[in-house]
Amino acid sequence: MSEQPKLELYAALAKAFDRLRYMQKTPNGNNTGVSVDTVKRDIGRAFQQAGLILLPNEVSNHTEPHINKEGGRAGYLTTVIIDFEVIHVETGQSVVQRASGQGYDSTDKGGLKAWSQAVKAWGINSNLIEAGMDAEADDNGEPINKDVVEKTFQRARSELRDVAPTRAEADKTYSKLLGYYKTHSGRPVEDPREFKTRGDAMGALAAVRQAIDLWAPDALEREARAKAGHIEPTAKKGKAKPEPLEITDDDLPPVLRPEPPLPTKQAVKP
């Protein structure tokens, strides 16, 4: 008897992967790459919103002496193989994906590094997630990769709509936060592609992320109450809706802060 297709699981995975089209690379010494913390955060958030949980299971772990470079200090190379089981919470349907990783260390951290590599290999390579980096590593006023900026903000806007009390409120907050961060020409930004520097874009993105993190707990509570058949009242008395964190001029890069008003001349009394 053939196994029945896991339709609910596949639908949840499609929903999660729709939010995982792109991950941001960051500098790491002389190299650039997606950090394991980014993989955990982005996949964890997408899976939670799609009703999925992840259970990693170590299949094998092997450590052996190793010289990292010719003539260098000897250390230990650890190789791990991990099965990543993705489970749909409501139905119990699951799928297993296997990934491996290696980690070198002169003391006892090779195992942790190997696990990190396995998590990144599964999260990025097994799921075909695009990874990229802004054209500029610092805010020096030079042009940035606008395609990367647009993709990143599209995903953030989608996540904001998912957790906000209403879509209208999400779009209003999104526009407000983008508009607050102005380009060097002083024009309000209505489209992420209008950002001229990485600093401008990252400042606005951080503000949108703050709004997402603020609304996310309430969104999960609303979803749980809806599944339990609870009908929300049309208006809640005595409890204000959560508002995104306020942003002041002090949060802006110095070059973007408005000029202070000139002191007014005091009238001289006769």
Selection from 109, 106, 55 nearest residue 83 by Cα: 55
Given a contact cutoff of 8 angstroms between Cβ atoms, the answer to whether 82 and 96 are in contact is no
SS3 of 122-141: HHHHHCCCEEECCCCCCCCC
Phi-psi region at 218: left, alpha or beta (left = phi > 0; alpha = psi -120 to 50): alpha
Amino acid at 193: R
Instruction: Give the separation between CA 93 and CA 137, rounded to whole angstroms.
Output: 42
Written as tens digits, the pLDDT of the chain (270 aa) is 567 889 999 999 988 888 777 777 766 655 667 888 888 888 988 898 899 999 999 999 998 887 766 556 678 889 999 999 999 999 999 999 999 999 888 777 889 999 999 999 998 887 778 776 544 444 444 456 777 788 888 888 888 888 888 888 888 888 888 877 766 545 567 778 777 777 777 778 888 888 888 888 887 777 777 777 766 554 444 445 555 445 555 554 454 455 555 555 555 555
Position 134 scores a pLDDT of: 46
Position 255 scores a pLDDT of: 44
Position 85 scores a pLDDT of: 96
Helix (H, G, I), strand (E, B) or coil at 172: helix
Selection from 82, 68, 87 nearest residue 112 by Cα: 82
Selection from 136, 71, 127 nearest residue 98 by Cα: 127
Position 41 scores a pLDDT of: 86
Phi, psi of 122 (to 5 degrees): -65, -50
Position 249 scores a pLDDT of: 55
Selection from 23, 59, 60 nearest residue 40 by Cα: 23
Q: Where are the alpha helices (DSSP H) in 97-197?
A: 110-120, 146-163, 167-180
Position 208 scores a pLDDT of: 85
Instruction: Give the separation between CA 18 and CA 34, rounded to whole angstroms.
Output: 19
Position 21 scores a pLDDT of: 72
Position 218 scores a pLDDT of: 80
Owner of token pair 């998590």: 119
CA 87 vs. chain centroid, Å, equals 21
Helix (H, G, I), strand (E, B) or coil at 264: coil
Instruction: Give the separation between CA 100 and CA 257, rounded to whole angstroms.
Output: 48
What ranges do the domains of the chain cover? 7-132, 134-229
Helix (H, G, I), strand (E, B) or coil at 98: strand
Instruction: Give the separation between CA 119 and CA 93, rounded to whole angstroms.
Output: 22
Selection from 124, 122, 118 nearest residue 60 by Cα: 118
Helix (H, G, I), strand (E, B) or coil at 210: helix
